[in-house]
Amino acid sequence: MQESKIKVQTKVPLRGLSTFKIGGDASHLFMLENKKDLKDAVAYAKENDLPIFVLGGGSNILFADSGISAFVIQVLNKGKEYKKIDDLHVLVTAEAGETWDDFVKWTIENHFFGLENLSSIPGTVGASPVQNIGAYGVEVKDLIESVEVFNIQTSEYKTLTNTECAFGYRNSFFKTEEGKNLIVVSVTFTLSLVPNINISYKDLSNHFKDIVPTPFEVRDAVIEIRKGKFPDLNIHGTAGSFFKNIICNESDIAKLKADYPLMPVYKAGSGFVKISTAFVLDKVCGLKGFRIGNVGLYENQSLVVVNYADATSTDVREFISKIKSIVEQKTGIRIEEEVILA
Ligand SMILES: Cc1cc2nc3c(=O)[nH]c(=O)nc-3n(C[C@H](O)[C@H](O)[C@H](O)COP(=O)(O)OP(=O)(O)OC[C@H]3O[C@@H](n4cnc5c(N)ncnc54)[C@H](O)[C@@H]3O)c2cc1C
């Protein structure tokens, strides 16, 4: 190993860096507190012939029991700034290592509105464009102006426009082979200086009935509703929704729709429809609360796979294969993971 300008730890247990509380060791870990250290970090990985793995809050990853032999850069750089652009809009930039929900809270407290429906999602600002995080009728792509990145191959900074990020449902340019060379350094959002309430999502409209809430009330309601949908991360391990909702051709689900007329079906553009994977798991496959040993589907939200106590990555992977094969046998549909398997 070369003499290094940065502080690199070796053999670091990943289970402590993942909300699933699962995983072997990272062979190398660097905690990036300041983006100016990125060049040295990437140079270190190259000099020591180590692949780079970018980590945020570890809330969307299932690490292998064998860990990873890589130079893990945990992105922790913090900072926020804003610039009002007219009477109605403000550009807000947050560094990638900001905790997502602390950032959302700060925007609302400063009367910069738009992110309230995305309250209480674990993880970092830097990961938010990678998955195009979404909840309660809002996706982060609707608010992102641009994303500043560092290219691992060229060691250069660049700013991508919203269009260049090629956002899709839990998808973006950052998940492509080319995009995997990019480390998100900061994200700029266009937020509103006046409330722009969106409570069209059923859980929120039911919560507020005929009342038009303030953004502060929307945030509180989202936090409250989510408490019932996810296990307490202080007690159990999870990475949130393990599976994506199903997007397929309308014709592929004709029989399913006929057998389950109450199944909600949403238009997803150009002949495609989106159906709730939770509905399929619960009502079609009868898997509500299904559990094998220490791994199970969360009673209150079947998309959520829970590590109830000391489950291994292998336990979770076997459980997931079982679920996928039951769904495929019953419906002919292959469901896809939302969580990254590392
Ligand atoms: C209880 C719970 C509830 C959840 N609810 C939701 C929800 O409602 N909606 C939703 O969309 N998601 C949800 N998630 C998933 C998760 O919170 C998001 O995907 C979040 O954005 C992950 O952030 P993170 O910092 O933990 O990323 P990580 O898990 O650390 O990384 C996720 C991916 O992003 C990459 N990455 C991370 N940081 C960077 C960076 N700076 N630059 C480049 N790549 C990077 C990683 O390499 C990895 O591929 C939930 C998770 C949990 C545990």
38 lines ligand 1 (CB under 6 A): no
> Is the separation of the CB atoms in 338 and 265 below 8 Å?
no
Residue-averaged pLDDT of the chain: 95
Residue 129: its H or E element: helix 128-131
Do 141 and 162 form a contact (C-beta atoms < 8 A)?
Answer: yes
Is the per-residue pLDDT at 161 higher than 80?
A: yes
Q: Does the beta carbon of 127 lie inside 6 Å of ligand 1?
A: yes
Rounded Cα distance, 142 and 162, in Å:
9
**Whole-prediction pTM:** 0.94
| CATH T-level fold of 8-75 | 3.30.43
Pocket test for ligand 1, best of 20, 71, 104, 131 (most atoms within 8 A of CB): 131
Taking the C-alpha atoms of residue 252 and residue 264, their distance in angstroms, rounded to an integer, is: 15
| Ligand 1 mean position, distance from CA 240 (Å) | 9
Q: What is the pLDDT of residue 3?
A: 58
Looking at residue 253, its pLDDT comes to 87
End-to-end Cα spacing for the chain: 25
Quick one: what percent of the chain has pLDDT higher than 90? Answer: 89
Instruction: Indicate if ligand 1 lies below 6 Å from the C-beta of 339.
Output: no
Ligand 1, atom 14: closest residue by C-alpha = 240
Contact (Cβ atoms closer than 8 angstroms) between residue 304 and residue 298 = yes
For residue 333, give the amino acid letter: I
Q: Candidates 1.10.3210.10, 3.40.50.360, 3.30.465.10, 3.30.70.141; correct CATH number of 80-227? A: 3.30.465.10
What 8-state DSSP symbol labels residue 99?
B
CA gap 114, 109 in Å, rounded: 12
Query: What is the Cα–Cα distance from 79 to 334, expressed in whole angstroms?
Result: 41
184 Cβ contact list (under 8 Å, min separation 6): 54, 75, 96, 126, 127, 129, 130, 147, 148, 149, 174
- Locate the domains of the chain by residue range: 8-75, 80-227, 231-341
Measured between alpha carbons, how far is 37 from 96 in angstroms, rounded to an integer? 14
> Which distant-in-sequence residues (6+ apart) come within 8 Å of 234 by Cβ?
none
| CATH number of this structure's domain 231-341 | 3.90.78.10
Range scoring the smallest mean pLDDT among 65-79, 140-154, 231-245, 263-277: 263-277
The answer to whether 19 and 237 are in contact (CB under 8 A) is: yes
Atom in ligand 1 nearest the alpha carbon of residue 230: 1
Q: Whose CA is nearest to atom 35 of ligand 1?
A: 127
The SS3 call for residue 193 is coil
